[in-house]
Structure 1
Amino acid sequence: MLRPLFRNYSQISQALLPFASRKLRHGQGLTTHCQRANAYASATIERKKFYEDVTISQGEGGLYEINLDRRKLKTPGGKLFTVPNEALAIAVATEWDAQKDTLKFYTMHLTTLCNTALDNPTQRDKNQMITAALKFLETDTICYRVEEPPGLVDLQKNEWDPILDWIENRYNVVIGSSSSIMGPQIPEETKETFHQHLNSYNFWSLTGLEYIITQLKSVILSLGLIDRHLTVEQAVLLSRLEEEYQIKRWGNVEWAHDYDMYELRARTAAGALFVHLTSESATVKRKLLQD
């Protein structure tokens, strides 16, 4: 049996793995293309386990494959399941190795993201993905502020303003916030800066980044997470700030709140891990190993 080898990614994987057995509940308010991708990825909810051992091997072009016993894993679209580096192959193989008698595909977030990148069910290119991601910037969670109650106004200011200041300084842009239903007017220069930055990601990494953005409903929080300015727990909490405020004020159904929180953390952690693993440079990896 394959042993998990996540020591270099412990902070993210520790946030992800404890929730691997919990059922995925799709986020609300996703764009149409993401809804189609989610439906495609979760078409088969459960299946009886049909293999004993999980291994990885390197195939043509240096790509890595996942083997279930002696059978090569394939995507839902029928393509050979291949990933660009060994670290991601190990992460995906660990998901398959962790399955028990029944395969719970809705817990296998990294496998789902790989399938999406390989099959590209919505048939989009990088530019279309970037355009879709930037639409979230215009309705970013932390840019919309309330005018009352005073407690929530202060909470948003105290918790959201620092991350907004950070990203404006980090990327030398102007974003701002607004209590108007129309939201802030994002300058074209800001959009162009973010477009150029997102264009620096490869197709696979963009797939993971877009996934995080749809979970958090925020480009700002997603970039804060990927840049390691925020932890998974911090990013999720900031994305749910108003909900958490209302829960503390009025109470909640405890198990439902915990369930939603765990699910969002698991999906967000998986997305972040996927981005980091698909952004990995083999050259940089070799240099670090030599050092």
Structure 2
Amino acid sequence: MSDWAPKRFWTNADVQEVDGGFAVALDGRPVKTPAKAALHVPTQAMAQAIAAEWDAQLEKVDPNTMPFTRSANAAIDKVRVQHAEVADMLAAYGDSDLLCYRAQSPAELVARQAAAWDPVLNWSETFLNAKLEPRTGVIHVPQDPASLATLSDRTHALNPFELAGFHDLVSMSGSLILGFAAAYDHMPIEDIWTMSRLDELWQEEQWGEDDEAQALIAVKQTAFIHAKRFFDASRAG
């Protein structure tokens, strides 16, 4: 950011109303993105979350403790300028969605996948008007083009801030449908994260957990939950 510095140089971080949204100012100086664009966000809730991150900084600024600021930067500097490309990339997950590719064996894993994932595919058919069919094995079999078009239209309709959060919900879960399930509050975000890790959890049950892997998973889970919070804040009144 243009105002980003190794040490804290401001006293107060305040939210300001601007044309079309809200901004954050440090002692009256508007915060800008790394590309030097105005950091204007669509909702007061998001601006307040960003201001709180700046207020929480101590002597030195730690960007790793500022997820809302980083996500807003990404929405403005990256997603906004290549919205169609990002939406296309995410919509493409629908044709190889995690929920559709099932194990051939063992029977217990097959049953567990069906019990967890089939209801979400049924929800997609009824709520999203997009029916995706499960496959056995890893060989790609194309999904119905009409369903994929419907999912693509929904993805492209998201604004840059929604799409920035949605990007992580989809890419981290490996599932466009789980991304929409999170976006539309179909189930708690923690349950969606667990559902996305069903195969990994099965492997952990068989072979045990690795401490380093568990630490990395915890970091990813925190980022996944943040993506949902950022998505929600992009829509809050």
Taking structure 1 as the reference length, the TM-score comes to 0.73
Residue 141 of structure 2 corresponds to residue 157 of structure 1: no
Tell me the distance in 2 between the aligned counterparts of 1:80 and 1:174: 41
Match for residue 223 of structure 2?
267
Q: Secondary structure at 1:103's aligned position in 2? A: coil
Q: Deviations over 1:93-145 (max 9, x none)?
A: 122223333322133222112111222279413x3222111111122211111
Correspondence for 1:207 among 156, 164, 178? 164
Match for residue 124 of structure 2?
167
Alignment of 1:1-291 (within 5 A): 47-59=6-18, 61-120=19-78, 123-125=81-83, 127-254=84-211, 256-257=213-214, 259-280=215-236, 285=237
Q: Secondary structure at 1:120's aligned position in 2? A: helix
Contact preservation (8 Å) 1:57, 1:66: yes
Shift of 1:68: 2.2
Are the structure 2 counterparts of residues 155 and 92 from structure 1 closer, same or farther at C-alpha, using a change threshold of 3 Å? same
With 188-197 and 112-121 compared, the bigger mean Cα shift is at 112-121
Shift of 1:189: 0.4
Residue ranges of structure 2 left out of the alignment (5+ in a row): none
Contact preservation (8 Å) 1:205, 1:279: yes
Q: How many residues end up aligned between the 2 structures?
A: 235
Are the structure 2 counterparts of residues 194 and 166 from structure 1 closer, same or farther at C-alpha, using a change threshold of 3 Å? same
Contact preservation (8 Å) 1:143, 1:184: no
With 217-226 and 201-210 compared, the bigger mean Cα shift is at 201-210
Shift of 1:226: 1.0
Q: Secondary structure at 2:82's aligned position in 1? A: coil
Contact preservation (8 Å) 2:121, 2:131: no
Contact preservation (8 Å) 2:169, 2:178: no
Shift of 1:199: 3.0
Identity score, percent: 25
Tell me the distance in 2 between the aligned counterparts of 1:183 and 1:47: 48
Shift of 1:90: 0.5
Are the structure 2 counterparts of residues 243 and 85 from structure 1 closer, same or farther at C-alpha, using a change threshold of 3 Å? same
Shift of 1:277: 2.2
Tell me the distance in 1 between the aligned counterparts of 2:10 and 2:196: 39
Contact preservation (8 Å) 1:49, 1:101: yes
Using CA pairs below 8 Å that are at least 6 residues apart, which structure has the higher relative contact order?
Answer: 1
Contact preservation (8 Å) 1:175, 1:184: no
Q: Deviations over 1:195-243 (max 9, x none)?
A: 2222332222122212221121111111111111121111111111111
Contact preservation (8 Å) 1:143, 1:176: yes
With 270-279 and 240-249 compared, the bigger mean Cα shift is at 270-279
Are the structure 2 counterparts of residues 254 and 193 from structure 1 closer, same or farther at C-alpha, using a change threshold of 3 Å? same
